[in-house]
Amino acid sequence: MNLPLQEIEARFRRHAVRLTRQRAAIYAALAATTSHPSADDLYRIVKRRQPMISRNTVYYTLGVLRTAGLVREVNVGHDMARYDGNVSLHHHLICLGCGQIMDVMDDELNRLQLSNGQAKGFDVLRHRVEFYGYCVSCQQARRDVSPHRRLAPSFIEGGEHGKQFKGHQES
Amino acid sequence: MNLPLQEIEARFRRHAVRLTRQRAAIYAALAATTSHPSADDLYRIVKRRQPMISRNTVYYTLGVLRTAGLVREVNVGHDMARYDGNVSLHHHLICLGCGQIMDVMDDELNRLQLSNGQAKGFDVLRHRVEFYGYCVSCQQARRDVSPHRRLAPSFIEGGEHGKQFKGHQES
DNA sequence: GTCATTGCAAAGGATTTGCAGTTCC
DNA sequence: GGAACTGCAAATCCTTTGCAATGAC
Please write the tens of the pLDDT for every residue from A59-101. Answer: 999 999 999 999 999 988 778 999 999 999 999 999 998 999 9
Please report the pLDDT score of residue B167 as a whole number.
Answer: 32
Which residues of chain B from 96 to 135 reach within 8 Å of chain A, CB to CB? Answer: 96, 102, 104, 106, 109, 112, 114, 118-135
pLDDT of residue B171: 28
The pLDDT of residue B147: 54
The predicted pLDDT at position A150 comes to: 47
pLDDT attached to residue A156: 45
What is the rounded CA–CA span in Å between residue B65 and residue A130?
Answer: 23
The protein footprint on chain C, as nucleotides within 7 A of a CB, is: 4-10, 13-18, 23-25
On whether any CB of chain B is under 8 Å from the CB of A88, the answer is no
Cβ neighbourhood burial of A33 (10 Å; 0-12, 13-18, 19+) = middle
To the nearest 10 degrees (0 to 180), the angle between helices B21-31 and B5-14 is 100
B31 touches strand D (CB under 7 A): no
CB contact under 8 A, B161 and A121: no
* Regions of chain A with pLDDT less than 50: 149-171
Q: Is B78 on the interface with A (CB under 8 A)?
A: yes
With a cut of 50, list the residues of chain B below it in pLDDT. 149-171
Model pTM score: 0.84
Per-residue confidence (pLDDT) for residue B160, from 0 to 100:
43
